[in-house]
Amino acid sequence: MTDIVTSVPVPSNKISPDITIDVSGLEKSLRRPRTAFNYIMSFLTAAITIIALIPLLSVVLTLVVRGGQRLSISLFTQLPPAAFEHGGGFGNAIVGTLVMVGIAALISVPFGILSAIYLAETAPEAKLSYIVRMCAKVLTGFPSILAGVFAYGTVVLVTGGFSAIAGGIALSILMLPTVILTAEEAIRMVPSKIREAALGMGATQTQTVWMVLLPTAFPGILTGVMLAVARAAGETAPLLFTALFSNYWLISGGRFNLMQPTSSLAVLIYNFSAVPFQNQIELAWAAALILVLIVLTVNLIGQSLSRK
C-alpha cells in the first residue's frame, strides 16, 4: 500500500514570502474525493466489462455444449425429421444456404466491384460518387427484413412462388453495400505511384484497373466479399418469405430446380425453435453451431487476408 499515504511530505509550502500554495489538493489518498472517485469508477468499469462479457461468452458456451451433443455425419446427409420422428439432419438446409449465398454473391460481387471502381478510380470526386457512397451507407443500415419485403414484391409476386432465386436476390441486397464500401477502400489503398506508373507507361485506364489496381487490391476486395458472405449466410429475416422452407433436397426428380421453396440453416433454426419436440430443438442447436462455425470461419479467413 505504498501509494495510499495519509499525508504528502511537502518540502515547503512557501515559494516566496508573499505567495502560499495549498498543495494538499494534490495529495493522492483514498480520503480525497478525487482519488476515491477515480478508484470507484475504475472498479465499476471493470465490473461492467466483466458483466458484459458473461452473456457473450455464455452464448458461445451454450452453443458448443448443446449443439455439440448432436454433431454427427448424419446431420449432413439426412433430411429434417417430421414431428414425432427421431434422428434426421439438415443436409438440404446446408445446401440451400450455400446455393442462395452463391446466387447472392454472383449478383452482388460484380455489381459492387464495378460501382467501387467508379467510386475509387473513374470519378472519386464526382457528385454521383457522394450520392452512391451515401446510398451504400444507407443500405448498410437497411433492416434485413425489408430486403425480404422487396424481394417478395419484385420476385415472389411476379414469378408466383417462393424460390431460391428470390432468396438469393434478397441476400444480394444485404451483401452489396459491404462489397462496394470495402472494395472502394481496397482500391484506394493501392499506392498512387503504382497507378501513375501504369498510366505513365501508356496503359489505358481500363488496363490500369484490370492489370494493376484489381490484382493489387485483390486481398482487400476478397476480405469485403468474405465479410458480406458471412453476413448473408446468417441472415434469416429476408429468407422467411422469399425462399420459405422445404423438407426436401433442391434436386427433385433428377432435376436441379432453383424455382422452388428452399430450406436454409437459419430458417431451420427459427422454425425448429418454436416446436415443442425435443428432437427438433436439439437439431436447432446443432444447426446453430454449424451456422456459427461457417460464419466465423468465413469471417476469420476474410480478416486474415487483409491483415498481411
Partner 1 sequence: MSANIPDQTGGPRESISRQPTFIEKHSNTVFGWATYLFAWLTVLLVLYIVCVIGIQAAPAIRDYGWGFITGTTWDVNAHQYGVLPEIWGTMYSSLLALVIGALFGVAVAIFLSEHFLSSFVFSVGKLFGVQFHPLWAKLPDNFERILKNLIELLAAIPSVVYGLWGIFFVIPLIRPVCDWLNSNLGWIPIFNTTLSGPGMLPASIVLAIMILPTVSAISLNALLAVPPKLREASYGLGATQWETILAILVPTASKGIFGAIILAFGRALGETMALAMLVGNANVISWSLFSPANTLAALLANNFPEAGPKEVGVLMFAALILLGITLFVNMVGAFILQKASEPQEGVR
Scanning 84-92, 138-146, 188-196, 250-258 for contacts with partner 1 by CB under 8 A, the matching segment is 138-146
> Cβ(14)–Cβ(20) under 8 Å?
yes
The three-class DSSP label of residue 30 is coil
Alpha carbon distances (Å) from 217 to 28, 133, 179: 53, 19, 13
Q: Are 219 and 226 in contact (CB under 8 A)?
A: no
What minimum distance in Å lies between the beta carbon of 71 and partner 1? 16
Distance CA 53, CA 50 (A): 5
1 binds partner 1 (CB under 8 A): yes
C-alpha cell belonging to residue 306? 487483409
* Least distance (Å) between residue 238 CB and partner 1: 9
Nearest CA-CA partner of 20 in 12, 9, 29: 12
Rounded least distance, CB 266 to partner 1, Å: 5
Tell the smallest beta-carbon distance from residue 258 to partner 1 (Å).
Answer: 19
Residue whose entry in the numeric block shows the C-alpha cell 487483409: 306
When the beta carbons of 77 and 241 are compared against partner 1, the nearer one is 241
15 lines the binding site for partner 1 (CB under 8 A): no
Residue 197 CB neighbours (<10 A): 13
Q: Establish how many alpha carbons lie within 13 A of residue 289's alpha carbon, considering only the half-sphere containing its beta carbon.
A: 18
The number of residues that bind partner 1 (CB under 8 A) is 91
By CB under 8 A, the residues from 213 to 232 that bind partner 1 are: 230-231
Kindly tell me which of 77 and 206 has the beta carbon lying closer to partner 1: 206
Tell me which residue of 40, 160, 30, 169 sits closest to 99, measured CA to CA.
169
Regarding beta strands 255-256 and 251-252, do their DSSP bridges make them parallel or antiparallel, or are they unpaired? Answer: antiparallel
Restricting to residues 74-133, which ones interact with partner 1 according to CB under 8 A?
Answer: 111, 114-115, 117-119, 121-123, 128-129, 131-132
Angle at 236 between CA 232 and CA 241, to 5 degrees: 115
Residue of 11, 191, 202, 276 interacting with partner 1 (CB under 8 A): 202
Interaction pattern, residues 251-290, with partner 1; x per rule: CB under 8 A: ---------------x--xx--xx------x--xx--x--
Nearer to partner 1, 88 or 148 (CB): 148
The residue from 180, 214, 221, 228 that contacts partner 1 (CB under 8 A) is 180
Identify the residue among 8, 26, 189, 194 touching partner 1 (CB under 8 A).
26
SS3 at position 211? helix
Residue list 42-71, contact with partner 1 (CB under 8 A): 42, 44-46, 48-49, 51-53, 55-56, 58-59, 62-63, 66
Interface residues for partner 1 in 139-178 (CB under 8 A)?
Answer: 139-146, 148-150, 152-154, 157, 173, 176
255/89 Cα distance (integer angstroms)? 22
d(CA 173, CA 150): 9
Shortest CB 255 distance to partner 1, Å: 26
| Among the residue ranges 11-19, 79-87, 238-246, 249-257, the one whose residues contact partner 1 (CB under 8 A) | 238-246
Least Å distance, CB 205 to partner 1, is: 6
